Amino acid sequence: MLIGSLLFLALAGLVSCTVFLVLVLVSAIRFYRRSGKQDSPVSLLPFVSVLKPVCGLETNLQANLESFFHQDYPDFEIVFGAREASDPALAIVSLLQQRHPNVAVKIVLSGEPDQPNAKVCSLEKMTAVARADYLVISDSDVHVTTTYLREVVAPLLEEKVGLVSCLYRGVPTGGIWSRLEALGMSVEMTAGVIVANMLEGMKFALGPTMAVRRDALNVIGGFGQLAEYCADDYVLGQRVYEAGYEVVLSHHVIDHVVLSRSCKDSLLHQIRWMKSTRFSRPKGHIGTGLTFAMPFGLLGLGVGLAAGRPGVALALLGWSVLNRVILSLAAGWAVVRDPLAARNAWSYPIRDFMGFCFWCASFLGTTIVWRKERYRLLYGGKMIRISGPATAEAESRTVAVDNLA
C-alpha cells in the first residue's frame, strides 16, 4: 500500500514537471518570436537617469559599473547611492568619473536607513536628485552591453507601459557553488518568468533591472511605499500593474554576476530568495514545488528498487534527468543564451535537486540575513529589522510574530 502510494506520488510529480517543461518550451518559442529589437530613433529617446545603489567592494564591481558608462545612448546621467562617503565602492566611482568625463554623474549619501529596506531608502533619495522622468534602476552586480539603455527604455515611450524589466543570465565568479547558483539564475528563474509572462502577463518586476516612468512611480506613491518590503522589485511591478499600466518583459538580457563563492554564502543567498518568495506570493510559491523533477525521479528510483522493479526505477530516474537537461537547454540557452547552461546541461539535474532543497528550507523559520543584517519576514512580504538599529516598535512587532510562529 505504501509503495503504491509513493509510486503514485512520483508519477504525479513527474507528470506535473513535464507539463511545466512543455509550458517552458512553448513560452521560449513565443519569447524568441517576439524578440525583435525594441529600439527607437535617436530623436525619440528621452533623457534617462540610471539609479545605481552601491555598498562595498564586490567581485567585478569596476567592470560592472563601467559597462553603464559605455552606453550607446544620446543623453543620460548615472546617480550612485551609498550610505557613507567612506564606502569603498565610491573610490571606484571616482575613478570611472575621471575615465569618462562625458558622462554626468551624481553621488547621493543616504545615511543610515530609517526603514527595513536600505536599498529602497537609498533609491528614494536618489530619485529626488535625478533629473529625468525616465528612471532605470539597476543593481551593482549587473553587467550590460552598449545597447542596454536603448532597448530597455524604448517600450516606456508607449504611454500605457509603466515599467520594463529584464531577464538575466548568471555569471559565475569562481568555484562550483558559484557555477551552480549561476545555472539556477539562468534556468530556474528564466523558466518561471517566461511561463508566468505567457500565462498571465507580467505582474511583477525583476530587481537587477527595473525601468520606470516617473509618472507611474508617482501614481503608486513613490519608492517610499516599498521601504518595508523584502521583495521590493516584485511589489513595485505589482503596484504599477494594479495602477493600470503595463509591465513589459524586455528582450534585452543582462548579465547578473554571482557574488557567492563559498558553499555557506551561496546556500544562504538562495534560501533567502526562496523565503522572500514564500512570504511575497505564498500560493505561487507552494505551486513551485511541483515544477521540480529530480526529487520525484529519485523517489521513483527508490520505490522501483524497493518493489523489485529496477527497470521501472531507472526509467523514472531517466525521465527526470532528461526533463531537466531539456529545461536547461530551452530556458538557459535558447532564451537567455547562457553558454554555461548549454555546456553544463548535464549537471542541471543536480541544481534542480538543490533548488527543491532550497524550496523546502524556505518553510523553516521566518528570518533572513541581508548584507550582514538580520530581518524577520511577515506574510505579505514586509520585513522587520531585528539586528542593528531597531526601533522599539519593530522589537515589539518581532515579539508578536515570534508568538504567532
Q: Report the Cα–Cα distance between both ends of the chain, in Å, rounded.
A: 35
Residue 249 pLDDT exceeds 50:
yes
pLDDT digits (tens, 9 = 90+) for 173-224: 989 999 999 999 999 999 999 999 999 999 999 999 999 999 999 999 999 9
Residue 399 pLDDT exceeds 70:
no
Please state, in angstroms and rounded to a whole number, the distance separating the CA atoms of residues 369 and 299.
Answer: 32
Nearest to 65 by CA among 35, 95, 36: 95
Residue 40 pLDDT exceeds 80:
no
Instruction: Give the CA-trace dihedral at 19, 20, 24, 27, to 10 degrees.
Output: 80
Q: pTM of the entire structure?
A: 0.91
CB 161 within 8 A of CB 155: yes
**Rounded to whole angstroms, what are the CA distances from 300 to 18, 31, 76?**
15, 33, 56
pLDDT band at 2 (very low <50, low <70, confident <90, very high): confident
- Whole-number pLDDT of residue 260: 86
pLDDT digits (tens, 9 = 90+) for 259-310: 888 998 999 999 999 999 999 989 899 999 999 999 999 999 999 999 999 9
Nearest to 64 by CA among 235, 208, 278, 211: 208
Residue 79 pLDDT exceeds 90:
yes
Taking the CA atoms of the chain, what radius of gyration do you get in angstroms? 22
Task: Express as a percent the part of the chain with pLDDT over 70.
Answer: 94
- Whole-number pLDDT of residue 42: 64
Residue 398 pLDDT exceeds 60:
no
H-helix segments, 209-309: 214-219, 232-242, 263-280, 282-288, 294-306
Q: Pick 38-280's CATH classification: 3.40.50.2300, 1.10.540.10, 3.40.50.10680, 3.90.550.10.
A: 3.90.550.10
pLDDT digits (tens, 9 = 90+) for 116-151: 999 999 999 999 999 999 999 999 999 999 999 999
Residue 363 pLDDT exceeds 60:
yes
- Whole-number pLDDT of residue 37: 53
Determine what percent of the chain falls in helix, strand and coil, rounding each to the nearest 5: 55, 15, 30
Give the position of cell 546621467: 77
Please state, in angstroms and rounded to a whole number, the distance separating the CA atoms of residues 364 and 303.
Answer: 27
Whole-number average pLDDT of the chain? 92
In the chain, where the domains are located = 2-30+284-336+345-361, 38-280, 367-404
- Whole-number pLDDT of residue 39: 56
pLDDT band at 111 (very low <50, low <70, confident <90, very high): very high
Residue 401 pLDDT exceeds 60:
no
Structure letter (DSSP) for residue 114: S
